[in-house]
Structure 1
């Protein structure tokens, strides 16, 4: 099982990098294709931590008979609407599912570790969006907007996450691609309560202050920014080996940042970075 720390981790950025390296070909050609890759990088030890850990990642993107699938972190998205054949505008929608491993392992801070490890949240839902090819810099750049909805079905936080995302990518040449992304996580009351509140028993065990405001109501918990770059080693992004590098910044917001788990034991500023290699078949 992959060591997953937070939703906007190395895995999420790696997926964006691989999407960049494969999307150029998939948007331009109506053919089956598969891109897989592995990477490693440095990420916070939990969502809101100021300690870092090294973690691996593995991601996938593919297209079969006009239907696209791709991963973002440990989540798999399937586009149930065939890709547009002309005009450069693609309407996207389909199911999504995966797991959230936040604070289930690799908790470096002593006080947060004393609160105890949390259960894995298995989340399923749906997503929809629109993508346009040929927007700003060339006939091949791509701008996309999507919104995903996930709900925990395994009894961990028992709540939901709504994530609007904007991504833009452009080829600088036949072998080089760069992309940027902006997203935000809007979470339900149960999510805030599970990951950010501190009970009296938890306070006594950890020394952190009692905190209950995160679970009072739903709200935006985190803003995420990312940049990725991919370079084909074969000279063509549509096939063969590629390498990628990535970086990202996340900002814990509002009452979630005021939690002692973040304010006293961690940081609202979340930095990630890494690199890896991918292969397009």
Structure 2
């Protein structure tokens, strides 16, 4: 009954670029009241779609301590046995159509993302002097596994990883984003997703975003710095979905709230873009409204 809604809520957490932490808060939540008795009220069948728009507030670039507003569109669903899940400025497809009632569910499919870090909205004037970067068009795959009914009949835990490569010649590198998410309904009209994830990138990626070369140093006054591949961040985010008519399963209008925190690591932390001009601590928030049918 809740299988498709679990997938939708877990996917919604991906619109937040921050990641990770403890599941204690979710475990302390009150037990769900259970699904409606009428199975026809479940909109999350083999074909459904959720569309919406939101506004986010986050760092102007990875490592910035200046905050900017940006739009956060929402698109997710399942059409023709193919799942559609949101990603930050992108999406992932699930090509596996698991049978209802499966003890374990799998997902795998292509993943896409447009990365605009330091391509626009640079809040720091010194960093802006170092020059804008090109947008990266990342293409790769998403894969994972989820286990329903972990602590109660309606919750789920999911483990997954996105791996993508830039195909536009911007950073020309690879980024890997592993994560784990826990979903549980809090009541008939509200659900929560707590997510933990990290980011790993290769030398090409980190050199593009975190190196300060001679020309950038001369233009901005930042110290020279050479970055190598490694883990860039780890964090946590919490998503709350609240159905406006009090029934999660019948679709309609919902409000989505997201709050997140991530901690930069390695060269993402040590680069002058962060250590001289920004912050290791990265915070994010978003609010949106969606319609499911």
TM-score by length of 1: 0.87
Q: Kindly provide the CA deviation profile for residues 13-68 of structure 1, in whole angstroms up to 9, marking residues without a partner as x.
A: 39x9xxxxxxx99x995431111121112100111100001111101110124321
Shift in Å, 1:140: 1.2
Distance 2:259 2:206 in 1: 26
- Identify the structure with bigger relative contact order (alpha carbons < 8 Å, sequence gap 6+): 2
Distance 2:194 2:147 in 1: 15
Distance 2:133 2:139 in 1: 19
Residue 15 of structure 2: which of 7, 12, 15 is its match? 12
Aligned to 2:29: none
Shift in Å, 1:133: 1.3
Residue 98 of structure 1: which of 113, 126, 133 is its match? 113
Distance 1:29 1:202 in 2: 51
Aligned to 1:126: 141
Distance 1:83 1:233 in 2: 29
The question of 1:255 aligning with 2:267 is answered yes
Distance 1:79 1:267 in 2: 36
Distance 2:286 2:220 in 1: 32
Aligned pair count?
259
Aligned to 2:10: none
1:118 partner SS: coil
Aligned to 1:279: 291
Moved over 4 A (4+): none
Aligned to 1:266: 278
Shift in Å, 1:147: 1.0
Distance 2:288 2:256 in 1: 6
> Structure 1: where are the runs of 5+ without partners?
1-9, 17-23
Distance 2:98 2:274 in 1: 42
The question of 1:35 aligning with 2:50 is answered yes
2:77 partner SS: strand
Distance 2:72 2:15 in 1: 9
The question of 1:225 aligning with 2:240 is answered no
Contact kept? 1:167, 1:181, Cα under 8 Å: yes
Distance 1:267 1:250 in 2: 11
1:59-208 matches, within 5 Å, as 59-136=74-151, 138-208=152-222
Distance 1:70 1:11 in 2: 8
Residue 49 of structure 1: which of 56, 64, 69 is its match? 64
Distance 2:143 2:99 in 1: 15
Q: Kindly provide the CA deviation profile for residues 53-87 of structure 1, in whole angstroms up to 9, marking residues without a partner as x.
A: 11111011101243211111112110111123223
Q: Kindly provide the CA deviation profile for residues 74-128 of structure 1, in whole angstroms up to 9, marking residues without a partner as x.
A: 1211011112322341111111112101100000101110011100000101121
Contact kept? 2:192, 2:240, Cα under 8 Å: yes
